């Protein structure tokens, strides 16, 4: 009996494998001994005249580069050729694959792709231009803002790419905020009620205080269906967003609500609490520095059962949230891994007790042993780094992760190094392209 492969091959990859006479179940790119064969197959498809075979080559190359850290300059060169091909889908997939390779810990040198990425970022097809602009933005190359300016200049046309978004491109461009904010503010007005605006609002929340000039437009967004995302951006800006404080307070108390207020918890006055009230309460605290409104909201939430989003907010408050501790403790044994991890962090931040929290976080690291790192696992690494020495039992697994041939998501490496340093083991050296 043929075992199912550990790699789920897409349509294009299956077409390429069929053309080469390879059973898809026989190419396991999660196993190191299959990688060279996968590289050869990808190289055979890069220059094909058939669009689906080029797409298959990109798909196989992307899978190899996602899973393994060994430098593969031949695959990078093939992706660069795809950027210049006439197959638009393959161009977009190649640009996105290159964008995903950009990080401080990358072992792949994509310098050779920059000229082609600059051209691709000017493509009329957003599915190509978006990922190319994202790659340039992450690389810190000067060509990145040009397509962003074009998208922002359209104001009413929010570009949406199947594989990335304007918000993702903006996040690494925080150093160009002064240049980009005037056009962003126009877009916040022109597209105020468009759901497509949400990735842009998320980017402004990542920018934090740097986005302060956009406070008037973000306050106006509180009257739209995008209010919850506007709350996060205003809270991240902090005290400079003071004009929003009274509106946020009224949202939390149920006095006023944005347009979308379906669902939520019934309040004593007979109305239902807006589903974004927690975002508003958090933003009110971050803006005013007064945790009274936020704490009252969280204590009410704790009386009804805390979700993982509430746990993350409680962790930010730390010892101020002591009255919620009793509601947090049982969640350390929740059936949901994400809830367990967030509960462990909240419990430690509120009580200072590592004896109960650390075992939960150590258990969440188990995916690393098989070369994986889901969101709960990655969060657990960050929290272990903050806890430091009491979580030192994680050191062997994190050390193995940092030296592994397998490639983990980019945020694993700085978090794991921070944890090792917090344990007193010193910073772990980054792997270079030649290592």
Please write down the HEC assignment for all residues of 301-325.
HHHHCCCHHHHHHHHHHHHHHHHHH
In contact, 139 and 101? CB cutoff 8 Å: no
To the nearest whole percent, how much of the chain has pLDDT over 90? Answer: 70
Highest mean pLDDT among 146-160, 254-268, 348-362: 348-362
* Mean pLDDT to the nearest integer, 207-223: 97
* Mean pLDDT to the nearest integer, 410-421: 96
**Cα gap 205→97, rounded to integer Å:** 26
Confidence of residue 273 (pLDDT cuts 50, 70, 90): confident
**Cα gap 75→88, rounded to integer Å:** 19
**pLDDT at position 2 over 50:** no
Residues 6+ apart with CB under 8 A from 268: none
DSSP code of residue 266: B
**pLDDT at position 264 over 60:** no
* Mean pLDDT to the nearest integer, 179-192: 93
**pLDDT at position 230 over 50:** yes
Question: Each residue of 213-248: b (16+ CB within 10 Å) or e?
Answer: ebbebbbebbebbbbbbbbbbbbbbbeebeebbebb
CA angle 226, 257, 343 (to 5 degrees): 75
* Mean pLDDT to the nearest integer, 37-46: 95
Most distant pair of Cα atoms in the chain: their distance: 69
What was the pLDDT predicted at 3?
41
More reliable by pLDDT, 120 or 433: 120
At 324-374, the pLDDT tens digits run 999 999 999 999 999 999 999 999 999 999 999 999 999 999 999 998 999
The lowest-confidence range among 118-132, 187-201, 223-237, 270-284 is 270-284
Residues 6+ apart with CB under 8 A from 257: 251, 271, 274
Confidence of residue 307 (pLDDT cuts 50, 70, 90): confident
In contact, 201 and 215? CB cutoff 8 Å: no
**Cα gap 376→335, rounded to integer Å:** 13
What was the pLDDT predicted at 272?
63
* Mean pLDDT to the nearest integer, 91-112: 94
* Mean pLDDT to the nearest integer, 406-427: 90
**pLDDT at position 296 over 50:** yes
**Cα gap 224→159, rounded to integer Å:** 20
What was the pLDDT predicted at 28?
92
Confidence of residue 379 (pLDDT cuts 50, 70, 90): very high
* Mean pLDDT to the nearest integer, 174-191: 94
**pLDDT at position 162 over 70:** no
**pLDDT at position 282 over 90:** yes
Confidence of residue 51 (pLDDT cuts 50, 70, 90): very high
Confidence of residue 159 (pLDDT cuts 50, 70, 90): low
Bridge partners of residue 272, in order along the sequence: 266
Phi, psi torsion values for 377, nearest 5 degrees = -65, -45
* Mean pLDDT to the nearest integer, 266-286: 80
Total residues found in the chain within this entry: 435
- The residue assigned the tokens 């509601």 is 327
Confidence of residue 157 (pLDDT cuts 50, 70, 90): low
**Cα gap 320→218, rounded to integer Å:** 29
**Cα gap 145→142, rounded to integer Å:** 7
**pLDDT at position 40 over 50:** yes
Residue 66, both tokens: 């996602």
* Mean pLDDT to the nearest integer, 44-69: 94
DSSP-assigned letters across all residues of 42-74: HHHHHT-SSHHHHHHHHHHHHHHHHHB-S--HH
Confidence of residue 309 (pLDDT cuts 50, 70, 90): confident
Query: Alpha helix locations (H) across 68-125?
Result: 73-83, 88-100, 114-120
Mean pLDDT, rounded, of the chain: 89
In contact, 170 and 128? CB cutoff 8 Å: no
- The residue assigned the tokens 């240049």 is 179
Phi, psi torsion values for 272, nearest 5 degrees = -105, 135
Query: Alpha helix locations (H) across 291-391?
Result: 292-304, 308-317, 325-328, 337-351, 354-364, 375-387
More reliable by pLDDT, 427 or 149: 149
**pLDDT at position 268 over 70:** no
**pLDDT at position 144 over 90:** no
What was the pLDDT predicted at 152?
87
More reliable by pLDDT, 160 or 177: 177
State the Rg of the chain over Cα: 24
The lowest-confidence range among 76-85, 251-260, 318-327 is 251-260
């Amino acid at each position: 009996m043929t075992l199912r492969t550990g790699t789920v091959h897409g349509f294009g990859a299956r077409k390429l494998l069929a053309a080469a006479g390879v059973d898809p179940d026989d190419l396991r790119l999660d196993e190191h001994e299959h990688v060279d064969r996968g590289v050869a197959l990808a190289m055979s498809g890069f220059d094909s005249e058939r669009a689906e075979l080029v797409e298959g080559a990109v798909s196989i190359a992307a899978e190899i580069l996602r899973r393994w850290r060994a430098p593969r300059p031949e695959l990078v060169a093939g992706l660069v050729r795809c950027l210049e091909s006439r197959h638009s889908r393959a161009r977009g997939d190649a640009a996105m694959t290159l964008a995903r390779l950009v990080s401080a810990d990358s072992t792949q040198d994509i310098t050779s792709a920059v000229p082609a990425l600059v051209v691709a970022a000017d493509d009329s097809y957003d599915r190509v231009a978006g990922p190319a602009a994202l790659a340039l933005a992450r690389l810190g190359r000067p060509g990145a803002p040009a397509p962003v300016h074009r998208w922002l200049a359209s104001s009413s046309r929010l570009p949406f790419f199947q594989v990335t978004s304007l918000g993702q491109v903006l996040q690494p461009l925080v150093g160009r905020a002064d240049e980009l904010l005037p056009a962003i503010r126009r877009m916040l007005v022109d597209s105020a009620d468009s759901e497509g605006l949400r990735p842009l609002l998320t980017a402004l929340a990542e920018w934090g205080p740097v986005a302060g000039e956009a406070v008037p437009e973000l306050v106006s967004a509180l009257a739209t269906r995008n209010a919850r995302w506007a709350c996060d951006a205003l809270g991240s800006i902090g005290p400079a967003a003071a004009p929003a404080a009274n509106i946020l307070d009224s949202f939390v108390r149920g006095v006023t609500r944005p347009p979308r207020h379906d669902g939520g918890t019934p309040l004593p006055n007979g109305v239902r609490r807006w589903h974004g009230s927690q975002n508003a309460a958090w933003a009110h605290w971050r803006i005013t520095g007064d945790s009274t409104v936020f704490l009252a909201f969280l204590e009410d939430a704790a009386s009804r059962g805390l979700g993982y989003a509430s746990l993350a907010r409680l962790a930010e408050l730390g010892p101020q949230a002591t009255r919620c501790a009793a509601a947090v403790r049982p969640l350390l044994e929740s059936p949901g891994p994400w809830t367990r991890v967030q509960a462990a962090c909240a419990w430690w931040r509120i009580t200072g007790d590592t004896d109960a929290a650390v075992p939960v976080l150590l258990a969440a690291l188990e995916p690393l042993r098989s070369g994986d790192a889901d969101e709960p696992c990655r969060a657990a690494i960050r929290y272990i780094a903050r806890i430091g020495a009491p979580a030192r039992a994680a050191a062997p697994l994190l050390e193995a992760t940092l030296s592994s041939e397998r490639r983990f998501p980019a945020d694993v490496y700085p978090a794991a190094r921070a944890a090792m340093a917090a344990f007193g083991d010193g910073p772990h050296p980054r792997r270079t392209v030649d290592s």
